[in-house]
Structure 1
């Protein structure tokens, strides 16, 4: 099962962000969150970027030749929830004041196995979305959280829903939209709750 972002969806996302007043410096609204780090220091846990709790060490993954062969800009295999998974980041694209991250999660186990996404990539236990996935600028010490379509407590994230089950041998395509980092930021780290951190992911 694969779900992608169509050009129409991208236009709607830009309209939603513009119409609802999503600003780059608004925390929780796709903006940046200042981290406790100097310009010359990379963000380091626990003060700035706590490592996610995973069932295996949260490896810091850089782009590899294997990832490129998969048509991804970064790739990682991880075991979680009793399933063997592969996370492929397929794009991080800047479009004016927004940046769109796309990735897939593939279940590498037998077809009888299933992995329920649910709230495993969310920012809160009852949030069935991928709102917990964030971009981190380690040079400037800033974290960018998923954009939301408003400023109140009920504002929904501009991202994929998590109410999907990935069967063995299949994959699911996901996305999240953020306020774009400054133009001079060409690479960021991408943090996935429960699935680890990818470093030096290029912004195109």
Structure 2
């Protein structure tokens, strides 16, 4: 059980911690207590005071200064930067920029998943923050929706100066530090963690923001960690603009995941994009209109005690003040359109198909499988195809790469009149198609797949979809955006 805070920290008014004057307490978590405070110039900051029992650990004291100095080197791009770290008597504290906005989990809980330009901006903003964090030699280790604040200027990642300090507590207590639904497979296995773990968490966060649920589900920590390490993520409902990058980010092998910088380049469709430029794009497409103060459903259900996950905003009445995010208009719509073209190479309308366009069963390597063609969409001469393969046989175990290889490059479109075949389009040495997971699937597991094709004649209203192992799905209608 966490130790109770000392009385003078519970009611901090009238005293300072270092040069900072606490104004009110924002929350409390496993690492310490967070206050809204003012610096000597009167500016608002978030002041995190570490728990005395942590400060008494020699390992913590030795790591505190090293990690705090590293965190202060992080550039101020899509982050709540660490401004200061110090010692007041026996109290260690960290000071970060105060971000006025709710966390992502509160917004999704209250209003549902993000869509359109808001989702695009979130994906770019968090990737930008990770690129800045990693460039400074820091690994966040605990990226999750509650550590992403939605400010009027865009998403801001917080607590990258705290997550590594939590290792001291983990080493002393033997507990796992992190949120299971957003931990990487190597974290779940207790292996060495690198910046690739943050990229995996990015994939989980974007999937959550787009669908309203973490891709590996919820429940008891051991069950979630097992799914993280061994199961295919559930990405049903994820916008097809982001699916390919999310799938690559969620690869079980950290060596196969893109870096945060590479994520940023793929999202913006340009090489060597600077994080400063990416931050400007995010800010430009992120609306700043503000809604009346209100309490979210999350706060109505239970008090939020997790100070470590937020230096978030509350007004003096205790209700959360937050700005809804929406796509900007006018010139900003041009920037949003650029993001849309880069992030949405597969087409995609606003309405999902009401049912599969074709279905086939097959027995492959002793496993019973069911495949459906879920959507075929056109934008100009580009056509995207969405497929789903479900393991249906009782007790079946299936290794998808035996059939597809490491990518869905063998799936082809067939022009019925002339018999011409179209292979998935190529980009950056690989196909614009799903990366096939390197793991076993069992009964009931679902494998969503996609592939994108270019140069398909615009006059075609139907197409054949040739799927390895399942054969030709004939006369599949093509939906035009």
CA deviation after TM superposition for structure 1 residue 19, in Å: 7.3
Secondary structure of the residue aligned to 1:120 is helix
Distance 2:377 2:440 in 1: 27
- Matching of residue 148 in structure 1 with residue 431 in structure 2: no
Q: Among 361, 379, 393, which residue is 1:95 paired with?
A: 379
Deviation at 1:156, TM superposition (A): 0.7
Matched, 1:193 2:453: no
1:170 aligns with 2:445: yes
Q: Which contiguous aligned blocks of 4+ residues in structure 1 show a shift greater than 4 angstroms?
A: none
Does the 8 Å contact 2:380/2:458 carry over to 1?
Answer: no
2:131 paired residue number? none
Q: CA deviation at 1:131?
A: 0.4
Q: Equivalent residue for 2:242?
A: 9
Alignment of 1:8-47 (within 5 A): 8-9=241-242
> Residue 120 of structure 1 is aligned with which of 395, 403, 426?
403
Give the match's secondary structure for 1:99.
strand
Partner Cα separation in structure 2 for residue 7 and residue 139 of structure 1: 29
Whole-Å separation in 2 of the counterparts to 1:176 and 1:159: 4
* 1:134 shift after superposition: 0.2
Match of 2:407 among 129, 132, 143: 129
Which deviations, in whole Å up to 9, do the C-alpha atoms of 1:31-67 show, x marking residues without a partner? xxxxxxxxxxxxxxxxxxxxxxxxxxxxxxxxxxxxx
SS at match of 1:162: coil
Whole-angstrom CA distance in 1 between matches of 2:388 and 2:244: 22
Q: What's the CA shift for 1:169? A: 1.4
Q: Is the 8 A contact 1:73 1:91 kept in 2?
A: yes
Q: Which has the higher contact order (CA 8 A, sep 6+)?
A: 1
TM-score after normalising by structure 1: 0.61
Aligned length: 143
Identify the structure with the greater strand proportion.
1
Deviation at 1:173, TM superposition (A): 0.7
Q: Which residue of 1 aligns with 2:313?
A: none
Q: Could you tell me how far apart the structure 1 residues matched to 2:243 and 2:397 are?
A: 30
> Is the 8 Å Cα contact of residues 465 and 472 (structure 2) preserved in structure 1?
yes
| 1:82-119 C-alpha deviation (Å, 9 max, x unpaired) | 01110010011002331110010011122x42211115
| Residue 433 (structure 2) pairs with residue 159 (structure 1) | yes
Q: Distance in 2 between matches of 1:202 and 1:87?
A: 17
More helix by share: 2
CA contact 1:119–1:129 (8 Å) conserved in 2 = no
CA RMSD of aligned residues (A): 2.8
Q: For structure 2, list consecutive stretches of 5 or more residues without a partner in the other structure.
A: 1-231, 246-265, 272-352
Name which one, 1 or 2, has greater alpha-carbon Rg: 2
CA distance in 2, matches of 1:194, 1:175: 16
The answer on whether the counterparts of 1:129 and 1:162 sit within 8 Å (CA) in structure 2 is yes
Shift of the 181–172 alpha-carbon distance from structure 1 to 2, 3 Å rule, reads same
**Structure 1 residue runs without a partner (length 5+):** 21-67, 123-127
CA distance in 2, matches of 1:130, 1:19: 25
Q: How big is each residue's C-alpha offset from its partner over 1:185-204, in whole Å with a ceiling of 9 and x where there is no partner? A: 11111111222111111111
Which residue in 2 is equivalent to 1:72?
Answer: 356
The CA deviation at 1:175 is 0.4
* Contact 1:94–1:180 (CA under 8 A) maintained in structure 2: no
